[in-house]
Structure 1
Amino acid sequence: MTRQGNQTSEYDVIIVGARVAGSVFAYEMAKSGYKVLLLDRATFPSDTLSTHNIYSNSIAMLREMGIMDRLLQTGTPLYNRAYIQFENAVIDGHFPEVDGSSDCFCIRRTHLDRILVEHASAQPNVTTIEGFRVTDVTSENGIITGIIGRAKDGVIRSFSSKLVVGADGRQSTIRKLVNSKRKLYVPSDFASFVGYFSGFRQEGERCAELYKKGDKLFITFPTSDHLFVVGVMFPLEDKEWIQRFAAGSETGFRDLVTAGLPGSSFSSRLQEAELFGQVKGMLGYDNDWYEEMGEGWALLGDALSFKDPAVGQGMHDAIYSSRILSGLLTANKDWSSSWSGMGDAYQSALESKMMTRFGLACKFTKNIPISKEENAVNHLIGSDPKATQAFLGIYNYANEPEAIAAAVAEFIGQHS
């Protein structure tokens, strides 16, 4: 399916991947007057395995795009409370305000991606082709000049551009074709599974819930269509649970929650809820960071850096990297003579903003027990509202991790 635009063979930018990163980038580039071709092998609406929670700083960016009201029209609820339990330490509080909001939003990808691609495609200089699978890139003197691929009708087509952008996810085709180098790599110790449930009850105010008990982790968010998305993680070395999930994913999912959180409210509430659709998951994944940009190409979102889903930063990083890249390109009119300088600037901006949360993801992704010292600190954080806000503020960029240490030190000083 082709949406909007007059289809030609030459563009300023070709974007491969039309979900969050790709659609946001297409919108931003079109707003600056560039001619954009937006491609995706899927047709929309389309679901994808995702941690799709959006914190308030990302909501602010969506509002600036003029799209937040339409996203809210899906009926997806806002929330601003988190209930977190690390072993026996509870951190329960509200996200601090940032960019004028403290609300969070966990919209399903069937809604989010469709609305974003429609918003991008509505720009007069964006052409969108769905059901198009890229098979190769073209180059001249080592500079990427376009793509080749197969349309939904089976016809092979080629398009040329000044820049090809890979926004095509964790298994990015563009990243492989341009030979982007992997700069950082931390494999996960965990398997991760996700299910959507109807009839899931929450006690008190709507919130996100996260539990880390022993070597297992459980998390839930209120999402679209009157559902809750529930995620579970367990060590890859636990072959028994892998076999139980393989034998029956729903039974394995429910049994893992019962075994991991015995007698808990979360476990009983999940058993009362009904699975909507199928349980999906990954048996292991890599936390990685790739070379960001080269001559004639660049990467965005998960194609650039995938992080453990426990930190929930994928949506922010997709939107943020798209806006950073569009701003950089708009400020440098002569791209052909600026690849090196733009690449350095893009790398610096992304690392400055995103690397701390990447480090947190790499910590979450390893099966390391919570130490006695960490447990004591978590109890202190949970007992002080200021420290709780500092902790939650890491997720929505209200503050950096150093603020937690300062808040804990202040609390200890007041009570010593």
Structure 2
Amino acid sequence: MFGYRVPSPDEAMLISGGRRGLGGAPFRVVTGHGKFVLPIFRKTRFLSLAMSEAEVVEKCVTRQGISLTVRAVIAFKVGNDTESIVNAGQRFLSDQDQMSVLTGRIFAGHLRSIIGSMTVEEIVTERQKLAAEVLDTSKAEMAKIGLIVDSLQIQSIDDGATGYIDAMSAPHKAAIQRQAQIAQAQATQASTQAEQEAQRNQAEYARQTAVVQAQYKAEIDRAQAAAAQAGPLAQAHAEQEVLMARTELAERAAELRQQQLVAEVVKPAEADAERIRVMAIAEAERMKIQAEAAASYDRVALDRMLIDQLPQIVKEAASGLAGANVNVLNGADGLGEIAAGLVGQGLTILDSVRRNLGTPDGETKQPGGDIQRYLGAASSPVDGGNAAKRSGDDGPVDIR
């Protein structure tokens, strides 16, 4: 459309004429969108925001006084903010190629300054540190002209004909060569050992093969010999089995005959002996029972006879007291005591008869004779004077 201008994505459109821009700039900055520009009254210019590159090849002197040629590459661009665009536009809008030249010169100066404070060893081994220090020292200066640095790369460091860097690397080269030689020797040794081990393994395999073959041959020979002897051995085994079967049959016949003898002779004899023993025990038991029964019958008869004669014994004992002068001192109790004494005397006579029933030669006495003897002793007359003397009294005592 007529009068409408749009900048590219990597450009900034600078419109001069009319109002001033930010911070009193003589132009206004437009990025990322279009804008109407009045013809004749306004003028439009474009500033590139794309990445640019500057190469620096500078001869520098280190802190040790050694001259080095350093090659570096700087990647830079105009800042995206309005202030950076204004600063860069005022300096490089008419000749934008001057940005690379000026940037190279600025970095060459800072590179000489930083390298002058470092040793060759530090520069060679710490290139990243060198680049970081150069960027830090140049950042403020680059910002003043509206530029920002994206990266700084140290491409090469050359000491010319001095050979310092080569001499510095000589120990490392020697160590690397020594390690390489050691590694080569170890590899050769390992290869030799592997080859010898392979030869030993082959010899061992050959020996094992020969041993196995000999074992196989021995087994074949044994099998052939066994096959040749199989016929006679089988015949001998068959005859041996026949003999064993006959022996076993004879043993079984002997055992059967022994069992028959036991059943026909030994068992009947044992049964007869047991029967005789049982009959003898039964006969002895019968005789013992009969003897005990007879003895028990005689004692029962004797006891019954004594019991039948007991009243007669008491009567005879009482008749001995007839006519005796007996004074009763304690009334009815005294009479009871006299009666109890008579009965006790009769019982004593009964016990004496029982104890004297047996004779020394084991014969039993006739109970009648002993009873008559005791009855005669009990019925002897007792006079009054003797009775009084036995009682310990001098005469009758009156009971008051």
TM-score by length of 1: 0.19
Task: Please tell me whether Structure 1 or Structure 2 has the larger radius of gyration of its CA atoms.
Answer: 2
Structure (1 or 2) with the greater helix fraction: 2
The structure with more strand, counted as a fraction of residues: 1
TM-score, length-scaled by structure 2:
0.19
